[in-house]
């Protein structure tokens, strides 16, 4: 490619938004909000991320170059956020780009991608199973002996807030342990990051786990005595959010209502 052709290549800001954020705009919105500029692909710069060479890529895996405009080099926000392990999301309804955690948003636990050990742990909407300490719920995860639940979080949340209980005829305390189940967990996958307990006489108890920065987590539910039937229940009022994990006060019992 000739040098003068390379220097004169311009890009409209609308094209940048499509390439970098994979979003789309209606013509009416574009006419009101988008302002054309002259910019250049700066293929002369290279990137070093945490001491190693790094090449930003789009969602199809094609290399991306920095954009040079008004004396500054601009990088694609999605590629950079993902490289820095920071969650990023775009809301087309509000035209908001979220970099990092979304505050004040609660996501039901049962709404995120979930893998369940179906031998002793199952989701159920059976009214007989979803009546927990005289409260009727729409859906519960029942673990009668032990079970593993893997949740895909994609680093979008700081807290996992579980409402849990042990129901009749359960006589043993249930331990709920949190593990890092991400692809890069390595040897740490077998390390308990956090563990909370709920006893039969505690009614419905709220357990708060710190999940900040984790792609996937595993919840392992069992009795400390390993084998007895515990009849544990995780309720559909459990959720994930971005409340300040540092302010959590641990588990608290809400009691039967």
State the DSSP H helix or E strand holding residue 81, giving kind and residue range, or none if neither: helix 77-83
Structural domain spans, the chain: 3-99, 107-253
Q: What are the structure tokens assigned to 219, written together?
A: 């919840």
**Does the pTM of the predicted model rise above 0.75?**
no
- Collapsed DSSP state (helix, strand, coil) of residue 97: strand
What is the CATH number assigned to the segment(s) 107-253? 2.60.120.1060
DSSP string, 207-254: EEEE-TT-SEEEEEEEETTSSS---EEEETT-EEE-S-GGG----EE-
pLDDT value of position 20: 45
pLDDT, residue 254, reads 54
Q: For position 255, what pLDDT does the model report?
A: 53
3-state secondary structure of 257: coil
Rounded alpha-carbon distances, angstroms, from residue 69 to 1, 40, 91, 220: 21, 7, 26, 51
pLDDT of res. 11: 38
pLDDT for res 23: 44
Other beta carbons within 10 angstroms of residue 65's beta carbon come to 16
**What are the pLDDT tens digits along the chain (257 aa)?**
444 444 444 333 333 433 344 444 455 555 577 888 899 999 999 988 888 888 998 888 899 999 999 999 988 888 887 777 777 778 888 888 877 766 667 999 999 999 998 789 999 999 999 999 999 999 999 999 999 999 999 888 999 999 999 999 999 999 999 999 999 888 889 999 999 999 999 999 999 999 998 999 999 999 998 778 999 999 999 999 988 655 554 455 555 44
């Amino acid at each position: 490619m000739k040098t003068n052709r390379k220097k004169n290549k311009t890009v409209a800001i609308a094209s940048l938004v499509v390439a970098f954020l994979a979003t789309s705009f209606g013509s009416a919105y574009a006419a009101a909000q988008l302002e054309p500029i002259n910019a250049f692909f700066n293929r002369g710069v290279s990137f070093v991320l945490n001491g190693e060479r790094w090449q930003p890529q789009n969602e199809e895996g094609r290399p991306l170059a920095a954009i040079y405009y008004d004396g500054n080099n601009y990088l694609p926000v999605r590629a950079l956020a993902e490289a820095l392990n920071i969650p990023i999301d775009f809301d087309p309804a509000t035209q908001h780009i979220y970099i990092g955690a979304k505050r004040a948003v609660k996501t039901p636990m049962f709404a995120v991608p979930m893998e369940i050990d179906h031998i002793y742990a199952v989701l159920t909407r059976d009214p007989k199973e979803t009546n927990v300490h005289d409260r009727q719920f729409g859906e519960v995860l029942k673990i009668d002996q032990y079970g593993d639940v893997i949740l895909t979080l994609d680093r979008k949340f700081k807290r996992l807030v579980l409402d849990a209980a042990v129901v009749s005829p359960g006589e043993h305390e249930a331990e709920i342990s949190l593990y890092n189940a991400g692809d890069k967990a390595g040897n740490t996958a077998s390390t308990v990051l956090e563990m909370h307990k709920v006893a039969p006489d505690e009614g419905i108890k709220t357990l708060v786990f710190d999940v900040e920065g984790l792609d996937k987590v595993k919840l392992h539910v069992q009795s400390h005595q390993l084998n007895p039937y515990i009849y544990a229940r995780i309720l559909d009022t459990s959720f994930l959010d971005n409340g300040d994990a540092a302010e959590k006060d641990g588990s608290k019992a809400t009691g039967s209502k």
